Amino acid sequence: KNNKIDAKIPKNTPNADQTMLLRHIDFEATPFDLILERSRLTHMELSTQLLELELQSLILRGPGGYSKA
């Protein structure tokens, strides 16, 4: 029943909050502190959302920060 709907939505599609956060991350390494300042999220909120984006392969973590995949 709902499986047909779920199957059509790619697993790595960002939700509204993640889409907003992705606007603050560049294609080149963006330092955590800069993303924190741009997003105005708390340290914990940002850490959680970055981990979720990384697990969905939407961002990469590397030397100097995070970048869009």
Nearby residues of 31 by Cβ (< 8 Å), 6 or more positions away: 64, 65
Asked whether 59 and 22 are in contact (CB, 8 A), the reply is yes
Predicted structure pTM score: 0.81
Whether 10 shows a pLDDT value over 80: the answer reads no
DSSP string, 4-28: HHHHHS-TT---HHHHHHHTT--SS
Residue 41, SS3 per DSSP: coil
pLDDT tens, position by position, 13-41 = 888 999 999 999 999 999 999 999 999 99
- Cα of 44 vs its chain's centroid, Å: 14
